[in-house]
Amino acid sequence: MSNSNEAQLRKTLAKIAELAGAAAGNGSYESHEDHEHEVDANGTVVCVPKALPERLLLKSAQTAVEINPVNAPQRVAIGQFAAAQVFEPAAIAVLTQKYWGPSTRRLTVSFMETTAANLRARIVSHLNSWSKTAGISFVETSSTGTIRISRGGSGYWSYLGTDVLLIPKNRPTMNLQGFTMSTSESEYKRVVRHEAGHTLGMPHEHMRKALIARIDKQKAYAYFLQTYGWDKATVDAQVLTPLDEANLMSTPPDQTSIMCYQLPGSITKDGKPILGGMDINATDYTFAGKVYPKASASLTSESLGDDWNESDDVEDVAYPD
Amino acid sequence: MGRLIEFQPGPTERLTISVGDVLLVGAAGVVVQSGAEAVEVVGPLLPGVVGDNGRVLAPAGAPNTLLIVARKVGKAVLAFKTGAPYRSVETATLDLDIVA
């Protein structure tokens, strides 16, 4: 995934967290324009943002751009990805739909290969580690799941957030190469929970500017070339291209986040390693709880989902120049 | 005509292929220890798919695929890197014979 996508992902996650936190009563969201107002248990008027049904998100984005071109998504040039990253007209809706949303949700899980019941249960239990604070969970299904796990492909990876909905049903959305019941519990925590984080829409943490600033580029190029055979472009893409801080949450970089890779002290300027996450840490749990709050009366599908029949949608409107 | 040959590093330590063949290797990286003139390395690559929306989608993760193109008759020794590139990396060496 390109850094421009990761930056936009973080920006949108931050906004979701802000909105969700405010709706849950612990945030500082203050805009009252175009929102309905309700009275909470304390008699205080609170602002409840309303969202369109999913079917209308793309149209709403197109309308917003039609009315005011400034609403179009920015084309951010970040290094080599600038040429490859093309935002389709659907970018606004796609970016919005990359996040599962603040309402509670259960994602079905199936396995691409024949997998023993105890192994399936073990993997799903680690996916559900995030449910300690997040209102999103994984449940196994005997049919084709929304999340499709393979253990036969190469490497460890997962598609990001609701991108999994766009993956052909005969293809995995997550790969856990070679995971068996013999795999250590620590690897389950480090790998399965990391990939589950991607499925929840979380990008890598290790490309924060402050962490990358600790890396000696020339040492990194030499190290990855010698150790992995990676050329400079690969090292740049995987290790050295920082996310735009302006698009990040204002929390300090967290080198022990489960979403952070480990980097050796031999490539850092101070000789100290970037530790990398071995398990979901407290910050991760807090962040997940904010982005995916557990059941909240003000964040049910009633307030965020389909609240009228599709036949009642307004027909296309021509806007004057 | 060249062949596209799927290859998983590990069990096989020696392999004979022909000029024009291409190895599709599940690995995060490769170090060509000798015979660089006989092979061309493409990658590492991060495989993606064309999504239902017609756009190319790639997962979050380290690269996990390489192409080794047999260019000339000769021998090469390749050290493939598998596992998690940032932590539990394993090396599997392959002696490659390239024939006409």
CATH value at residue A114? 3.40.390.10
**What total of structural domains would you count in chain B?**
1
Determine, for residues A191 and B84 on separate chains, whether the beta-carbon distance falls below 8 Å: yes
Does the CB of B9 have a partner CB in chain A at under 8 Å? no
Looking at the fold, whether A69 and A140 belong to one and the same domain comes out as no
pLDDT tens-digit map of A242-279: 766 554 444 567 788 888 888 889 999 999 988 888 89
Say if residues B57 and B96 touch (Cβ distance below 8 Å). no
B40 within some domain: yes
What does the alpha-carbon distance between residue A195 and residue A189 come to, in Å, rounded to a whole number?
10
Helices of type H across chain B = none
Q: Could you tell me if A124 and A158 lie in one domain?
A: yes
Chain A stretch 160-189, residues whose beta carbon is closer than 8 A to a beta carbon of chain B: 160, 163, 165-168, 171, 173-175, 177, 187
Å between B67 CA and nearest CA of chain A: 13
Task: Give residue for tokens 């709403």.
Answer: A60
Of A2-11, A214-223, B56-65, B88-97, the least confident: A2-11
* CA end-to-end distance (rounded Å), chain B: 12
| Residue B75: CATH number of its domain | 2.60.40
The pTM (predicted TM-score) of the whole model is 0.71
**pLDDT at residue B99 in the model:** 97
Give the range among A14-23, A62-71, B38-47 with minimum mean pLDDT: A62-71
d(CA B26, CA B45): 10
**DSSP state, A237?**
I
- Interface check for B86 against chain A (CB to CB < 8 A): the answer is yes
Residue numbers in chain B where pLDDT is lower than 70:
85
Min distance A156 CA to chain B CA atoms (Å): 6
Look up the domain containing A11 and give its range.
Answer: 3-99+296-312
The answer to the question of residue B56 being in a domain is no
Choose between A135 and A291: higher pLDDT. A135
Å between A33 CA and nearest CA of chain B? 33
Structural domain tally of chain A? 3
The C-alpha atoms of residue A176 and residue A153 are separated, in whole angstroms, by 8
Residue A175 pLDDT: 94
Exposed, middle or buried by CB within 10 Å (0-12, 13-18, 19+), for A170?
A: exposed
Using one digit for the tens of pLDDT, what is the confidence trace for A86-109? 333 222 222 345 778 888 999 999
Q: Which residue of A has its CA nearest to B27?
A: A154
CA–CA dist A92, A61 (Å, integer): 6
Is the same domain home to A264 and A302? no
Q: Is residue B94 part of a domain?
A: yes
Do A235 and A179 share a structural domain? Answer: no
Assigned domain for B28 exists:
yes
Phi-psi region of A208 (alpha: psi -120 to 50; beta: other; left: phi over 0): beta
B56 touches chain A (CB under 8 A): no
Domain of residue B42, residue span = 4-10+19-46+62-99
Same domain, A17 and A62: yes
In a domain, B84, yes or no: yes
Please report whether residue B53 resides in a domain. Answer: no
φ/ψ of residue B19, rounded to 5: -55, 130
Q: Which of A312, A317, A229, A212 is nearest to A268 (CA)?
A: A212
User: pLDDT (tens digit, 9 = 90+) per residue, B56-67?
Assistant: 999 988 899 999
Question: A226 vs B31: CB contact, 8 Å cut-off?
Answer: yes
Element (H, E) at A234: helix A232-235
- Do the domain assignments include residue B51? no
A55 vs B45, more confident: B45
Instruction: Answer yes or no: do A44 and A118 share one domain.
Output: no
CB distance B82 to B90 below 8 Å: yes
Judge if A154 and A228 occupy the same domain: no
Separation between Cα atoms, residue A208 and residue A219, nearest integer Å? 19
Q: What is the pLDDT of residue A246?
A: 54
Does any domain span residue A204? no
Q: Does A77 touch chain B (CB under 8 A)?
A: no
- pLDDT computed for residue A3 by the predictor: 54
